[in-house]
Amino acid sequence: MENANRTDLRERTSSVQRWVRENAGLFLVLPGLFLFSAFMFYPILYLLYLSFMRATNAPPTSIHAGNEQFIGLENYVTILADPSFWNSMGVTWLFVATSVALKLAFGIAVALVLTSDRARGKRFMRSLVILPMGLPAVFSITVWSKIFDNARYSLANKVLLNLGFEKVSWMTERWLAFLTYNVTEVWLAYPFIVIITVSALQDVPDALHDAAKVDGAGYLARFRHVTLPAIKRPVMFGGILTAAASFQQFLIPFIFNDGGPGEANSLLIHYGYTEAFGNTSPAYGKAASIMMLTLLFIGAFMWLNVKKGKLADGVGDR
């Protein structure tokens, strides 16, 4: 009896040991996972809690500040019935669509120009062209906000006047402001797309192009049938990353014109931020529910992309 127990115990320890040996890799991953989870999931849970509360008094400095009051789904009901929330949601998705399309088209075009066989000094030019990535976003966005200032003497207006057009109130007209958001976002993000595209282009074997040339394919045909399939995957991945960045764009509306005119261009994160910190009467509970909905949407968006784009497998599970 005792003997049997002992063998049983030995077998069990050895199976634990075997498990540990087989899953040793897990212990290399856990520290990172733990730290990431601590800073991601705890705030999200707290946000969820706060979104069921009426919290308007002071900035909450602790989990139980004592000035919150449970009101169930009221915040969500208020938000979902608020047209300005739906405006923000709509304009955010529109911004994602337009800015991502522009970023990809522009980034790929620049990458193609700067990898062309015939261009001289392209390596040097490629080093230069990614410099905007090194500038702090706060700075770049402030500069762009002044380039597109309403004033007569802003750079954009000056160029327009010199070309013989009238001066334009960039910040006070809704779609013009939206356009300037797009231009700025493209300028901020194109280096990333250029780098990804260039590195993908360099992996395309020259032999493929030569073979296509021998078969009489023109430049466009070669782009469609040789280049595009080869760069599709990395560029798609870059596109998804940059779409997520666009979705969460905060500094552009914050620095440009506070999401204006009015609240017309208040992108979601900025909208929630204004509810919490920007107004004279802060509504942390309401802001928390906006942020929860934002996170829900971005989560669903990323999940769909990762699933459809098969980003998690393919590379890893060979």
Partner 1 sequence: MSLLSRIARSVAGDVKTVAYSPIAAYEHTRYTVTGMRTGDVDPADVAMSVVSTITALAVVTLLLFPIYWVLKLALSGGSASLFATNINLLPTDPSLQTFVWVLGDLILPGYKLSLTIPGVGYDVFVRTPELVFLDASAHGVEYPSEFKRYLWNSMTVAVPTVLLAMSLIVPGAYALSRRQFIGRGKLLYGYVLFTQVGGGIGIASLIALYALFVQVGLDANKLALSVYYAATAVPFNTWLLKTYMDGIPKSYEEAAYVDGASPLRVVWEVVLPLSKAGLATVFIFTFLAGWTEFIVAQTILATDQYTLPVGLFLLVSEYSTPWPKFSAFALTFALPIMLVYLGAQRYIEDGLSFGGVEG
Site for partner 1 in 63-82 (CB under 8 A): 63, 65
Strand partners, 53: 70
Closer by beta carbon to partner 1, 262 or else 299: 299
- Check binding of 203 to partner 1 (CB under 8 A): yes
Own/partner pairs for 201-210, CB < 8 Å, 24+ apart? 201/111, 201/112, 201/115, 201/227, 201/230, 201/231, 202/115, 203/230, 204/230, 204/231
- Report the length, in residues, of the chain: 318
Give the whole-angstrom CA distance, residue 271 versus residue 259.
8
Q: Residues in contact with partner 1, total (CB under 8 A)?
A: 116
At 75, list the tokens: 């915040």
Q: Which of residues 275-304 bind partner 1 (CB under 8 A)?
A: 276-277, 284, 287-288, 291, 294-295, 298-299, 302-303
Contact with partner 1 (CB under 8 A): which of 9, 16, 40, 211?
40
Nearer to partner 1, 178 or 187 (CB): 187
Asked whether position 217 contacts partner 1 by CB under 8 A, the answer is: no
Nearest to 49 by CA among 22, 75, 82, 77: 75
C-alpha dihedral (80, 81, 85, 86), degrees to nearest 10: 90
Q: Is residue 29 a contact point for partner 1 (CB under 8 A)?
A: yes
Residue type, 90: G
Taken in order 245, 46, 283, 53, the sign of the CA dihedral is positive
Contact mark string toward partner 1, 118..157, x via CB under 8 A: xxxxxxxxxxxxxxxxxxxxxxx-xxx-xx-x-x-xxx--
90 binding partner 1? (CB under 8 A): no
Residue 74 token pair: 């009221």
Shortest separation between residue 79's beta carbon and partner 1, angstroms: 14
Whether the Cβ atoms of residue 270 and residue 253 lie closer than 8 Å to each other: yes
Nearer Cβ to partner 1, position 22 or 166? 22
CB of 163 to partner 1, least distance (A): 12
Is residue 44 within the footprint of partner 1 (CB under 8 A)?
yes
Q: How near is the Cβ of 4 to partner 1 at its closest, in Å? A: 30
Minimum distance of partner 1 from residue 121's CB (angstroms): 7
Looking at residue 132, what DSSP letter applies? G
**Cα gap 257→183, rounded to integer Å:** 15
250 and 273 Cβ atoms separated by less than 8 Å: yes
State in angstroms the smallest separation of the CB of 270 from partner 1.
Answer: 9
Which of 160, 168, 233, 260 forms a contact with partner 1 (CB under 8 A)? Answer: 233
Q: From residue 238 to residue 277, what is the string marking binding to partner 1 with x (rule CB under 8 A)?
A: x-xxx-xx-xx-xx-----------------x--xx--xx
165 binds partner 1 (CB under 8 A): no
3-state secondary structure of 316: coil
Give min distance, CB of 77 to partner 1, in A. 20
Do residues 49 and 41 lie in contact, with contact meaning Cβ atoms separated by under 8 Å?
no
CB of 45 to partner 1, least distance (A): 8
Sketch the per residue contact string, 172 through 191, with partner 1: x for CB under 8 A, - otherwise: ---------------x--x-
Furthest C-alpha separation in the chain: 101
Cβ proximity to partner 1, 135 vs 221, nearer residue: 135
